[in-house]
Chain A
Amino acid sequence: MSLKDISTSVPKKDHSGKVSGQLPYISDVKVENMVYGVLVRSQVAYGKIISIQLPNLPEGYEAVGAEDIPGPNFVKIIKEDQPIFANEWVNYIGEPILMLVGKDLNILYSLLKEVKVIIEEHQAIYTLDEAIKQKSAAGVIMASYEFGESLETVSAIEQGAHQIIEEEYDTGYQEHVYLEPQGMLAIYKDDEIEVQGSMQCLYYIKNALLSALACGDDEVRVVQSPTGGGFGGKEEFPSMMACHVAVAARAVKKSVMLVFDRSEDMVVTTKRHPAKLNYRTALDKVGNILSLSVEIFLDGGANVGLSSVVLQRALINSAGVYKIPHFHAKGYVLKTNTVPNGAFRGFGAPQSFAGIESHLGHLSKLANIEPLEYKRKYLVKQGDPTITKGIFRDPILVEDMIEDLLKTSEYKKKKQEFQRFNQQNLRYKKGIGTSLFLHGCGFTGSGERDHIKATVKLVKSKDGIVMLKISNSDMGQGILTTLCKIVAKELDLPYEDVLYPYPDTKVVPDSGPTVASRTTMIVGKLLERAAKKLKAQWQSGVDQEVVEHYVHREMIPWDEKTFTGDAYPAYSWGVNFVELEVDTLTGNVKLEKVYGNYEVGKVIDDRIMKGQIDGGLAQGLAYGYLEKMTSKQGKIQQKSISDYGPPTSLDVVPIESKVFDNPYADGPYGAKGAGELTLIGGAPAVQAAIEDALHTTFQQIPITPEVIIESLWMKEGEEG
C-alpha cells in the first residue's frame, strides 16, 4: 500500500494480533523457572515499622526486602523520596514493605495473610483540606510556583473594582482503569536482568533499574510488552514494579512475575490528583474582568513523584484559552498520607480547565451574557502573550471551530427548544454546555532539550525493509501505525515495508518517554528527518543505518524559577458542545449529543484520530459526572470497576467530530499532539450543560446524582 495523503487511514500494524487475542500481553507470558511475587503492603497510613514477622516459608518460597537492594533504596523518578521497599517509615496505605516470591500464587496469597507487620501509628494527613490547613508544617509543601502580575498591582486594581468574586472549586480523583492491570516480569540470566511489561517509558525504567541494581549499562534490559492501555498510569508507576521484580530476580536467581489484580491495581497505583482551585476576580460594573488571581492546590499523596511537573502544567493552563488582564497564579503540591498521585492523560490540565471554564461560565451569568459569547470576548489570538510571557505564535482557529459547531449543532435553535422543553417538563430538564481548551504539546519548557535529548534510529536491511528503532510505546494510541506511515511516506516505500517492533533498550536508542503528547510531534518529526536523510543516501542491496538527534528551536527561553518563557513549542486546540438531560427525581444525567472540533496541526491517520477523540472524550465526560473515587482515613474506597463506574457502551453517545487543518512547521507533515487534548474539554462542557439544564451552579466535579439532588434541595430551600 502506498500512501497518497498522510491522513488517509491504513490497517493498523497490530490489528490481527489484537483482534484474535493471540498477541501476548505480559500476563500471557510464561518463562522457564518463573516464580510469582506478591507484595506485603502497609495497612497504616503513617507510622514507624517496629517489627516484621514472617511465617515459616515452605521450600522454594522466599522473602525479598530493602536489604536485598544493591543500590540506594528509592525509585528514581525526580526526587529520591519513593522507597522501593519501605525502610523504617510507611507513608501511605498500600506502600510496599517486602515481597514474597514462589511458584504458586495461591500459596503466596495465603502466606501473605500470615505476615505480621507491627507499625507504630502516627498522626497522618488524610485529605487535601487538612493538608492546606497544615501547609506551614515541615514537609507538607512538596512543590510550589508563583508567577504573573505582582500582587500589589492586582490589589490596586481590585480596590477600584465594582465587585470581587471569589470561588472555590474542587476536583476529585480519576482512576485510569486501563483494561490490562499493571504487570512486570524480570527474566533472570547470570549476566543480565531483562524486564518486560506493560509500560509507557522504557528508559525511565532502565534508569530506575540501573540505580536500584547499581549495575552496569549492559546488565539490564527493558522490553515493552503489548500494553493494554496506559493513559499516564503506566508512565512512572511501572518503574517501581520493575525495581521490585528486578531486585527479587537478583536475590532469588529466578525470573519473577508481578501482576496486579484489579483491586490491588485500583488501591495502590497512581491516580489523577484531586485539586482545589481558588479564583478571585475583580469585575467592573458590566461584568468585565479586570484582574484574576488563581491559587491551585494539588493532593500529591505520600510522595512527590511527578507531581511538581503536573502542577506546572496545571498552572500554565490556569487561565484557559483566555487573555486575562492582570493575571496572577500560584500553586502547591501538598503531601497527604494517601496513595501517591501521578500522570494521567492531560497531566494537570483537566483540573485547571474544569476550574477556569466553570469560573468564566459563572462570571458570564453575573454579566448577563450568554456563556459562549462571554468567553469569546477573552479568547487569545495569534501573537498574544501567554500568561508566562511566552507567545502564541501560530494561527489560532478556535473562532472558526466555534462558528462551525454553532452551525452543525444548531445551537441557537436547540437552546430555544430546550427552554420550551424545560418549561413543559417538571421532571426532566435539558441543557447545552460548551468548553474551549488547548493542550501544550511536548514537555514543559526546555525539557526536551535539557532532560530528554531524544535520539531516533532507522535501520534498513539489504532487501529494503526499514525498521524504526525508538523507545516509544504503543499502548493503544496507534503509534506502531502512525510513525510507520510517516517514515513510509517520506521514503516512498509501501507501508508494509516499514516495521516497528516492540522496543527493547538493547537495540533502541532513547527517543524519550511516551508522554506529554510528544510522540507524534517530536519523535515523529525526528523520524521524518531521519527518513529524509536515509532517502538521500539510499543504496539498494546494502544494510544502512541513520540516526537523528533532537534539535531545539529556541523561542523565549523557559525559566522554571520565574515561571516565564514559552512553556510549549506549540498548542493543539479544541471546542466541545454537550447536550444532555437531567432527571431531577434521581439526579441521573443522560448524555444526548456530543460535538467536538479540534485542531492538531495535521492528522496522521483519520481513523486513529477519531479513536483518540472518542476515547478521550468518553474519559473526559465521565470525569465530570460519572467517575468518582474517594479515600477515607487514607484508604481508597472504590476497589472494583463497578464501585468506580467508568462509562459503559450505554453511557456514551455518538460523537460528532471534525478536525481542522493548521500544519505546524516543526511537526511531521504539520502534526502536533492529539492524545491528551481530547480528554480535557469533556468535564467542563458536561458541567456547563448540567448548570444550563438546572439553572444552578456547581463548584466541583464529578457532579454525581447525589451532588445534583443536594443542589436541587438547596435551591428549593432558597426559593422557599
Chain B
Amino acid sequence: MIKFTLNGKTEETNAPATTRLLDLLRDDFELIGTKEGCGEGECGACSVFVNNLLQNSCLIPIGSIAGAEIQTIEGILETKKFKILDESYSDAGGVQCGYCIPGMIMASAALLSKNPHPSKAEIREGISGNLCRCTGYNMIVDAINQAAKKGDGIW
C-alpha cells in the first residue's frame, strides 16, 4: 500500500507501484483536471505539484510518491492565486480549446511562486515545457504577466 497526501488529504492506494500517477489521479480519484496530451513527458498537460515541484504526472510511477504531497489543479481552485490566474487568463484571452490550460495554470503558478516578477522572456522559459497548439502562447504570456502584477505580494 502506498500512502501520500493528495490536495491536503491523506490518501492511500493498493494500485501497482508502476501505475502512472496520471492514471491514479484520473481513474481512482476522478480528478479530471489533469489531462493526458502525450503520455511521454512532452506536453505538460498532466502537470501537477509533487512536493511543491512542477512535474509531469505521466512520467511518475506511483511507487515513487510514498509520503509525498501531491497537488492537482483541483487542489488550488479555491486559492487566491488561482482566482488571479483565472481572471488574467480570461482578460488576456489565453484560453482556446482549453486542453492545455489546467497544465498551463499549474506551470504559471509554479513559475510565479519561484519568480514573482518574471520578465516576458522568463515567462516563455517557464512555460516552455507546456505545449499549446491553439494560442501561439503570446496571450498566455500576457496572462501570466498580468497575474504577476495583479497578484503582487501573494506569490
Contacts and interface: CB of A to CB of B under 8 A. Distances in A.
Instruction: Tell me whether A and B are bound partners.
Output: yes
Interface of A: 9, 11-12, 14-25, 27-28, 176-181, 226-231, 261-262, 475-478, 607-608, 610-611, 614-619, 640-642, 646-650, 652, 654-655
A14 B90 CA distance: 10
Nearest to A23: B98
B56 to A, nearest CB: 12
A627 to B, nearest CB: 11
B38 A611 contact: no
Contacts of B39: 261-262
B53 interface: no
B41 to A, nearest CB: 9
- Which secondary structure dominates where chain A touches chain B? loop
B98 A14 contact: yes
B35 A21 contact: yes
A614 B33 contact: no
B74 A650 contact: no
B97 A19 contact: no
Contacts of A649: 123-125, 127-128, 130, 132, 137, 140-141
Interface in B117-155: 123-125, 127-141
A126 to B, nearest CB: 27
Interface string B20-39: 00000010000011111111
B73 interface: yes
B95 A655 contact: no
B128 A618 contact: no
Contacts of B141: 649
Contacts of B131: 177, 179, 641, 646, 648
A227 B135 CA distance: 15
Given A228-B97, A228-B99, 12 more contacts: A14-B98, A21-B32, A21-B74, A231-B133, A261-B39, A262-B37, A611-B135, A614-B135, A615-B136, A640-B38, A648-B131, A649-B123
27 contacts: A11-B90, A14-B95, A15-B89, A15-B95, A16-B86, A17-B98, A20-B86, A25-B35, A28-B26, A179-B99, A180-B99, A229-B96, A229-B97, A229-B99, A261-B39, A262-B37, A476-B98, A607-B139, A611-B139, A614-B136, A647-B137, A648-B131, A649-B130, A649-B140, A650-B125, A655-B136, A655-B138
A477 B135 CA distance: 10
Given A21-B74, A178-B133, A12 B95 contact: yes
B32 A24 contact: yes
B100 A179 contact: yes
A640 to B, nearest CB: 6
Contacts of B45: 179
B109 interface: no
B138 A654 contact: yes
B40 interface: yes
A647 B132 CA distance: 9
B96 A611 contact: yes
A254 B131 CA distance: 35
B93 A262 contact: no
A230 B37 CA distance: 14
Contact of B95 (A18, A178, A179, A650): A18
B112 interface: no
Contacts of B125: 649-650
A183 B38 CA distance: 14
